Amino acid sequence: MFHHETFQSSLFNVPLAKPLALDPQYRPLSLGVRNFRQALAAYGRHETVVVGLDQNTGSVARLELKVFPQDAGRDEDNLRYVSWMVNGLLWVCGGWRVSVGGPKALCDAIAAEYSEDGPWTFEREIMGQAFNRTFEVAVMDPWAIPSAGKRSLALGGNLQGCRIGFDLGASDYKVAAVVDGEVIFSTEIPWNPKAESDPTYHYNCINEGFKLAASHLPRLDAIGGSSAGILVDNQVMVASLFRAVPKERFLKDVSPIFLKLREAWKVPLEVINDGDVTALAGGLSLEQNGILGIALGSSEAVGFLDRHGKITGWLNELAFSTVDANPTAGTDDWSGNPGVGAAYFSQQAVDKLAGPAGLTFPADMGLPERLKEVQALMAKGDPAARAIFETIGTYLGYTLPWYAEFYDMEHAMILGRVTSGEGGEIILAKAKEVLASEFPETAKAISIFLPDEKSRRVGQAVAAASLPALA
């Protein structure tokens, strides 16, 4: 990725004033970015790199980034900075083409980073698959990179009628029957989609859940749902849930699975990224907009409701976005990239921190069960469990300013299994503490909150069910 041997002298190697006991090598990307910009301002001269991002609908984002002049001896840090900003844009918005303009050597280096032989091969593969185009980085004149267009989806907030709401997670499948915005039935159905290579298993599981929910309704008017992964126009483009399915069968049977279910049930059906439904749920319960929803579950699911109360149609796959600048940080089990969100805001984070906290589990115990064990210890006041949740809260406090680089948000809502019980309150309190001490301006601009227990239980189902408009 970058030259590891140069990281010690990098502007991004910024340790915490008080290193984390459970993760002493943590180097928040937000502190590195701030340090880079402060050093650049002190240097007194800069050059400009322009970055653009294209989706199938056209330009979606444009950034103008100040970097050190070539004679400043900061080429590696320039590359780190621009590459991480590009990477952040990709996982926030999504796109098949990145355009870069500015100092030629730096732009060529960015193109090489994202080439077929470069280190960001996971990004190339996922973005190409999501947009059904060959991913590319184009070096061009800065003035030729267009301004960003605007796109938002008019989904959600439709509460009238008899509806099914569902959410597909890695370890369970939640489904609810909703009448005029009130949940009259809900359940969680255990499943193990990651291990199943036959798409029929997935279709049948989802369909049986629909049948169960529908049995509690006098009639069915619409179905709305959320799923982990990247979805475009109700089609699954990329999803770890279905990673065991061979590519040919994925394209034939998994990608159009919700179109097939809509045809089978003969009612309006809309499904979007689970993070976007999280944000929509927050907007509905709070009657507020500008919400970044962060669900800490089997992975990190993120969604965004803009200041107009609209879903943007962005990818919001921050589970794969770098939050820790340390090149030796642990990697997640899919992308293989170090320091990404999934390892800091999920059950994976709890498991990662349990060892340093002095907790051990049976080798065959799954991550959901390990989380439950830690939460049970937390309920008993165990200091090791508290240290785990405090560490995750610290991660969150240092990461929100990085997310604010890309999202115009007023609120950050955290939820998901990791936030259940007292652990969620500890995460929230610690994040607020870090923001107030390290990023006071961000703390003033963004409120962080946990939804109440009722919203945590049913808000997602109601929000998902509200996606389709009735004909």
Q: Write the DSSP assignment of 27-68 as a string of letters.
A: -BHHHHHHHHHHHHHHH---EEEEEEEEETTEEEEEEEEEE-
- Decide if 456 is inside a domain: yes
In this structure, are strands 136-139 and 97-101 parallel, antiparallel, or unpaired?
parallel
Residue 282: what pLDDT?
A: 80
Interval 247-288: pLDDT, tens: 889 999 999 999 999 999 999 999 998 888 878 888 877 778
Residue with the two structure tokens 């050190």: 68
- Decide if 153 is inside a domain: no
Residues 126 and 207 in one domain: no
Nearest CA-CA partner of 199 in 138, 246, 261: 246
- For residue 170, the domain's CATH number is 3.30.420.40
Structure tokens at 317: 């796959």
- Decide if 72 is inside a domain: yes
Look up the domain containing 244 and give its range. Answer: 162-271
The structure's pTM equals 0.88
The CA distance from 374 to 378, in Å, is 6
Residue 64: what pLDDT?
A: 97
- Decide if 408 is inside a domain: yes
Residues 296 and 256 in one domain: no
- Decide if 347 is inside a domain: yes
Residue 210: what pLDDT?
A: 97
C-beta atoms surrounding 6 within 10 Å: 14
**Strand order from edge to edge, sheet including 47-55:** 58-67, 47-55, 97-101, 136-139
Residue 149: what pLDDT?
A: 80
Phi, psi of 134 (to 5 degrees): -75, 120
Residues 107 and 205 in one domain: no
- Decide if 206 is inside a domain: yes
Residue 332: what pLDDT?
A: 79
Structure tokens at 464: 């998902």
Residues 129 and 174 in one domain: no
Cα 179 to the center of its chain, rounded Å: 30
Spatial neighbors of 465 by CB under 8 A, at least 6 apart, are: 163, 164, 165, 176, 178, 222, 223, 224
Residues 420 and 290 in one domain: yes
The CA distance from 179 to 228, in Å, is 25
C-beta atoms surrounding 43 within 10 Å: 12
The CA distance from 273 to 317, in Å, is 9
Residue 172: what pLDDT?
A: 82
Residue 455: what pLDDT?
A: 55
The CA distance from 330 to 344, in Å, is 10
- Decide if 135 is inside a domain: yes
Domain edge (last residue) among 249, 271, 293: 271
Residue 301: what pLDDT?
A: 86
Spatial neighbors of 57 by CB under 8 A, at least 6 apart, are: 149, 151
Q: Structural domain tally of the chain? A: 3
Spatial neighbors of 224 by CB under 8 A, at least 6 apart, are: 163, 164, 165, 166, 269, 270, 271, 464, 465, 466, 467, 468
Can you state the percent helix, strand and coil of the chain, rounding each to 5? 45, 20, 35
The residue count for the chain: 471
Rounded to 5°, angle at Cα 371 from 229 and 347: 30
Residues 315 and 445 in one domain: yes
> Mind listing the pLDDT tens digit of every residue in the chain (471 residues)?
455 568 999 999 999 999 999 999 999 999 999 999 999 999 999 999 999 999 987 888 999 999 999 999 999 999 999 999 999 999 999 999 999 999 999 999 999 999 988 899 999 999 998 898 999 999 999 999 998 886 667 778 888 999 999 999 877 889 999 999 999 999 999 888 888 999 999 999 999 999 999 999 999 999 999 887 888 889 998 888 898 999 889 999 999 999 999 999 999 999 998 888 878 888 877 778 899 999 898 889 899 998 888 888 888 999 999 999 999 998 777 788 999 999 999 999 999 999 999 999 999 999 999 999 999 999 999 999 999 999 999 999 999 999 999 999 999 999 888 999 999 999 999 999 999 999 999 999 999 999 875 555 447 778 899 999 887
